[in-house]
A = this chain, B = another copy of it.
């Protein structure tokens, strides 16, 4: 027997309509690609979203068609988020950090009909354009007077939407309809497309607002440094529309100086980004001896943050660094280590260790850890196994790919983790990066985070390499800070203080650079190949 409740679909357009009726005056501030600061309100944004929907409808876009973007976090990208998905189109956010050949591949795979591009990324698009089979139109996200000269093949965004009506009747449709598409930057094989739905997007926003999630409310000033071109800036544009939070978009200004200016001018309260970005910000603030006053919380995800970063945020800026964990396939929020009174009352160093965990699932997310035979492992904070996830904003498959990635309805995250009795999750390592030494496991992430805590170390990478006796042993690769120097022995002595003896890397190699994926994560595959014989040689 069904209940007798209204069948109102959960649609992205309803987020926009809610924002414009309930907090029309709330600001959206952007650093533009042109360099200046742009500010307007949801009441202005709504009119331009409607113009976008009318413009692409006139260009023949039908519900379900894919529309690409190559763009920074700005108000124009926001307009495409709501305008394209709202009319039923599928917003395909393209990560400009992918290799050009990957970009060509995913645009063709997605069959994008139109691409909206920031001036910054036009050369990137031009370089692959001849390969793009389905692309009909390129729209440049800039004012008419900033358009490149002599390019009849390009359309100006402002000119395009100026010609349209600022009202649009947002259609109602099945909430499971596709809303957006984001490709994972896999380290092997072709990228895989994660196809979000209106339902998954709205539910994810609801769950993220809670104080056990990102704690976003009407008084929040949210600055997502995490890009709108990857996993929807962790859903913050939707969460802001739902909650009435002020949005501050950094545009292309993701360096420490630009971010600090924006944080200070707009009095941001909540920042979201990856460790690399925070490292840049903290380093810059140190260099000018400045403190962030308005910021209460910074969320870190993408990779684990080292203890030294958690400590620096707290001691220098009185900011609680919140670990969050998720992936493209999970929309992305899976767990959040939101502050609790219990944790805030702990002695500092103990508190930092708690903050280093990835946190608790937000409601909607089920987690379990399993062994290699698929048996569930206990939630005791010690047993670690393959982290499996399930929930209404978790991918059930990939775009145009028939094989299901699921096992009994669960998605394998590729991470190895522990869960404690309160379901707090801590990542041990990526499954492919975990080091198996003489039957025991060693976490490359833990070793990297300890090494990077040394003042001379700029970046650290630990890989497992073949060893004749122990199967695999850890090898530590480090980039030193400019002008710093340290011996292998000193560094191993530093690392050795915090770990069990058998975790100590067998060797240290000083390098000038380390390879990264398009989303900024360490790319260890080529390193494992390069150093495959390193310990075999030493021993022989």
Asked whether A218 lies within 8 Å of B211 as measured between CB atoms, the reply is yes
Asked whether B24 lies within 8 Å of A422 as measured between CB atoms, the reply is yes
Distance A243 CA – B422 CA, assembled complex (angstroms): 13
Residues of B contacting A406 in the complex (Cβ-Cβ under 8 angstroms): 6
Asked whether B218 lies within 8 Å of A212 as measured between CB atoms, the reply is yes
Residues of B contacting A90 in the complex (Cβ-Cβ under 8 angstroms): 1
A423 within 8 A of B: yes
A476 to chain B, nearest CB (A): 36
A355 to chain B, nearest CB (A): 16
Asked whether B217 lies within 8 Å of A1 as measured between CB atoms, the reply is no
Q: A2-B178, A178-B2 are in contact. Are A244 and B195 (CB under 8 A)?
A: no
Q: Which of B1, B391, B399, B411 contacts A177 (CB 8 A)?
A: B1
Asked whether B423 lies within 8 Å of A392 as measured between CB atoms, the reply is no
Q: A25-B422, A218-B340 are in contact. Are A3 and B244 (CB under 8 A)?
A: no
**Dominant SS at the A interface?**
loop
Distance A401 CA – B244 CA, assembled complex (angstroms): 39
Distance A392 CA – B6 CA, assembled complex (angstroms): 5
Asked whether B363 lies within 8 Å of A6 as measured between CB atoms, the reply is no
Asked whether A18 lies within 8 Å of B363 as measured between CB atoms, the reply is yes
Residues of B contacting A394 in the complex (Cβ-Cβ under 8 angstroms): 5-6, 8
A200 within 8 A of B: yes
Interface residues contributed by chain A, number (CB under 8 Å): 72
Q: A219-B341, A242-B363, A363-B18 are in contact. Are A5 and B210 (CB under 8 A)?
A: no
Residue among A22, A25, A179, A422 having the largest count of chain B Cβ atoms under 10 Å: A22
Interface string of A407-422 (1 = CB under 8 A from B): 0010100000000011
A128 within 8 A of B: no
A199 within 8 A of B: yes
Distance A194 CA – B5 CA, assembled complex (angstroms): 8
Residues of B contacting A411 in the complex (Cβ-Cβ under 8 angstroms): 6
A interface, CB within 8 angstroms of B: 1-8, 10, 15, 17-18, 21-25, 63-64, 90, 174, 176-179, 194-200, 203, 206-207, 209-212, 215, 217-219, 242-244, 331, 338, 340-341, 360-361, 363-364, 366, 379, 390-399, 406, 409, 411, 421-423
